[in-house]
Structure formats: C-alpha cells, structure tokens
Amino acid sequence: MSRLRLLAVIEAYSITGPAKNLLEFARLSRNEVETTIATFTRGSATNLFIEQARGQGIPVEVIQEQGLYDRSVLETLYRLGERLHPSIVQTHAVKSHFLARCSGLAKQAPWIAFHHGYTWPSMKAKLYNQLDRWSLRAARQIVTVSVPFREELASRGVNPNRIEIIHNAIPPDWGRRFRQPELALSLRSQLEIAMDRKVILIVGRLSREKDHITLLEAVARLGPEKKAHLLIVGEGPDRPLIEAKIQGLRLAESVTMTGQVDSTEPYYGIADLAVLSSLSEGSPNALLEAMAAGVPVVATRVGGIPEIVTDRESALLIEPSDIAGMTSAIAGLLEDEDKRRQFVDKAHKRILQNHAPEVRVQKLLDIYSGLSKPLPIE
C-alpha cells in the first residue's frame, strides 16, 4: 500500500506549538504518510524550525519572500504542488490559508486547514485575521482545537460540518527527566535563582492575549514572604511592555526573562507552579507540557482549557484578568503541597487517556484517508 503524500504549508521560525505538533505527526506517521514541509523565510535560508525538521529527515521546501506582499510566492506554491503531486495539502494559520487559496494550491488536492486561534499583537494583525472569513470557506476540512474556536469559525461563515476538533498532544513522559535534582540545581544556578525561591513558570509568546501583565500584578501582590520568583519563557512583541511593568512594580529581582529558547523542557524541571494567564487559548501546548512534566497548574477559564483540565481536580481555574483571583490561587497552591501532588497525578492520567500523540495521529489519518472527491468551492 502506497503512502499518502502530504504537503504541509506553515510559517515557523522557531518550535512553536503548531510546528511541534507537525514535526511530531511527521515522525509518528512515517509508515503511512510521506510529509514534505513548505515554509517561508526572508533573508536567511534557514532557521531553528527548518533545521529541526531536516534533522528529523523531513524534506523542507524553503520559499524565499522578498517582502510582505511578494506575489511571486503564489506561483512558487502552485508550481510546488505541480511538482510534488500531494495527496493532501495542509495549511497552518491565516497566512498559509490565504496563500494556499490565492495560489490555486488548494485546488490541486484535498485541502485541510489547521486553525490554532488568533494572536492580537496589533490592529494590522487583527485585520489580517479577517482573511480567514474568505480563505477557510474553500477548505475541505478545518481542524481546530476547542469548542469555542469551532463556534467562532462557524460565526465567520465556515460550514460547521467541515470543522473537526482535535486537541493537541504530548508524550506522557515529556519533561520528566529535567526534574532530576542535579539538572534542576544546574539550571537554577545558571539563571541565578536561589534554592529557597518558589518558581512560578509561564511559557508562551509575549503577546497581548497571553496577558503577562495580570500575572505580574499578581506576583507583586504575593509579597516577599512567599519567596516567589517568576520565570518568563518566550519572546514576542509585548516584551517592552512587560519589561516596563516589571520595573514599575519593582520586580526586577523577582522575575527572570529567558527570551526565545530551543527547548522549554528544562524550565519545567525547576518550576513549582505553571501559570497560563491567557485571555484567549485553544488547546495550549504550555498546559499539556506542564501536565506531562509533573507541574501543577493555575490557568484562566478560556478557550479549550476547561476541556483539558477540571477545576479543583487537575488544576485551578480562574477568570481572565482577575488579579485578585490569580493571586489567591497561586498563593494557595504554593502553600498546599498535598493539593499540588493531587493535581499532578490527576493531570498526568488525563494526558495518558486523552492526549497521547498516537491518538492524535490516528484521528488525523482517519480524516486524510476519508477524503474523496473535491467539494465545490463556495
């Protein structure tokens, strides 16, 4: 039996959640699917994502852009489809969706669009997100990661019968080895975080929807007696705003910002608590990472988070932008070792039952194999 030929179009410069899931799928489905990745660059011919993909033996087609509105990209994508003859075309996020439809690539094979939610870094980006209202109506199938995202897409005119919900996945033992005392001690030393400090970890893009500002306000309210140290892992457009807030709250000695890192795993190894302070989420990889790594979680009750964890059973859930609620949840969980242990045990069972990578791969393979004749474009 011949393998499916998958052409996955994604814009990724580092190992973001969607990039990580794509690489994991390509690795686990090698026997059934021949995956080729098409990705965009400007200037440099490579980046961390390209290097990791090629390091795993995944063919990567690099599309060089001359600028934001480089129309030659459309012909390049179309010719790529002609050359590779994919069985399935897969796209990730607004830009890739739009280019796939504009170029005609989406007509060359059944097209599946992966919707991961929208970021809000600027008014320009918000307007750019509106392109999905047109692009996604042509997709044979849309895969999204939560019920609220499905409802949002339906409200934008996407046929709900074409929308499938598949949560993200993670290996059940992900990050566990970094909780070994010698590795944790080494990283604390590198970051200059004292051993008596309780580490509160937040992992994610530094952008408005992640709401680092509310978390910083909560950490400031904890007071010095809690001996809390906030570790912010990630990079993004809101870095200047976050740095200014740290200074304004006089938290410079209590916050460490790592910037972009090759792997987030080691940082869970020193975390006493992980926080997701987001205003919007889908199926957040940061939540799954904490659950797999054995770190208890405080998270906002948004997007697909309540579909993954249960409040007061496998995590503490609070309302978004609730500084007092976040302060109380963090303080209470830091003080209650038994509760932290309970959350860790329950969360890990959920990973095993619902979020193993093999389960996600099989769901996608079922979708791919079920595609038949093209449907008319609306």
pLDDT computed for residue 123 by the predictor: 65
Q: d(Cα 241, Cα 67) in Å, to the nearest integer?
A: 27
pLDDT computed for residue 120 by the predictor: 61
Which residue has better confidence, 121 or 204?
204
Q: What's the CA dihedral at 184, 189, 190, 192 to 10 degrees? A: 120
Show Cβ contacts of residue 288 under 8 Å, excluding neighbours closer than 6 positions.
168, 169, 170, 308, 351, 355
Q: Considering just the CA atoms, what is the radius of gyration of the chain in Å?
A: 21
| Same domain assignment for residues 151 and 236 | no
| Same domain assignment for residues 86 and 210 | no
Q: d(Cα 228, Cα 233) in Å, to the nearest integer?
A: 16
| Same domain assignment for residues 199 and 165 | no
Whether the per-residue pLDDT at 159 is higher than 60: the answer is: yes
The helix (H) or strand (E) run that includes residue 239 is helix 239-248
Average pLDDT of the residues of the chain: 92
Per the structure, the count of domains in the chain is 2
**Mean pLDDT in residue range 89-105:** 95
| Same domain assignment for residues 159 and 273 | no
**Residue 377 domain-assigned (yes or no):** no
Q: d(Cα 371, Cα 111) in Å, to the nearest integer?
A: 9
Write a three-state SS string for 68-96: CCCCHHHHHHHHHHHHHCCCEEEEEHHHH
pLDDT computed for residue 125 by the predictor: 67
Q: Give the model's confidence band at 373: pLDDT under 50 very low, under 70 low, under 90 confident, else very high.
A: very low
| Same domain assignment for residues 157 and 194 | no
| Same domain assignment for residues 210 and 279 | yes
| Same domain assignment for residues 327 and 224 | yes
**Residue 17 domain-assigned (yes or no):** yes
| Same domain assignment for residues 282 and 347 | yes
Which residue has better confidence, 79 or 131?
79
**Mean pLDDT in residue range 165-190:** 94
| Same domain assignment for residues 131 and 269 | no
Q: Give the model's confidence band at 1: pLDDT under 50 very low, under 70 low, under 90 confident, else very high.
A: low
At 293, which CATH number? Answer: 3.40.50.2000
What backbone torsions phi and psi does residue 337 show, to the nearest 5 degrees? -65, -40
**Residue 226 domain-assigned (yes or no):** yes
Whether the per-residue pLDDT at 76 is higher than 90: the answer is: yes
Domain containing residue 363: 4-169+357-370
Whether the per-residue pLDDT at 206 is higher than 60: the answer is: yes
| Same domain assignment for residues 18 and 133 | yes
- Asked if residue 89 lies in contact with residue 9, where contact means CB atoms within 8 angstroms, the answer is yes
**Residue 73 domain-assigned (yes or no):** yes
pLDDT computed for residue 69 by the predictor: 75
Whether the per-residue pLDDT at 87 is higher than 50: the answer is: yes
Q: What percent of the chain has pLDDT over 90?
A: 83
- Asked if residue 163 lies in contact with residue 144, where contact means CB atoms within 8 angstroms, the answer is yes
| Same domain assignment for residues 144 and 225 | no
Whether the per-residue pLDDT at 175 is higher than 70: the answer is: yes
pLDDT computed for residue 377 by the predictor: 46
Residue spans of alpha helices (H) in 136-223? 147-155, 181-191, 212-222
pLDDT computed for residue 371 by the predictor: 83
* pLDDT tens sequence across 269-322: 999 999 999 999 989 999 999 999 999 999 999 999 999 999 999 999 999 999
Residue 3, CA distances (Å) to 72, 98, 143, 191 in order: 31, 27, 21, 46
**Mean pLDDT in residue range 145-171:** 92
- What 8-state DSSP symbol labels residue 172? T
Whether the per-residue pLDDT at 118 is higher than 80: the answer is: no
**Residue 375 domain-assigned (yes or no):** no
| CA-closest candidate to residue 63, choices 7, 9, 6, 104 | 9
Burial class (CB in 10 A: 0-12, 13-18, 19+), 262: exposed
pLDDT computed for residue 374 by the predictor: 43
Q: Which residues of 102-122 are buried (b: 16+ CB within 10 A; e: fewer)?
A: bbebbebbbbbbbbbbbbbee
| Same domain assignment for residues 320 and 247 | yes
Q: d(Cα 129, Cα 21) in Å, to the nearest integer?
A: 22
Q: d(Cα 113, Cα 93) in Å, to the nearest integer?
A: 8
Choice among 2-16, 56-70, 113-127 with the minimum mean pLDDT: 113-127
Show Cβ contacts of residue 179 under 8 Å, excluding neighbours closer than 6 positions.
268, 269, 293, 294
Whether the per-residue pLDDT at 215 is higher than 90: the answer is: yes
**Residue 61 domain-assigned (yes or no):** yes
- The type of residue at 270 is I
**Mean pLDDT in residue range 142-153:** 93
**Residue 376 domain-assigned (yes or no):** no
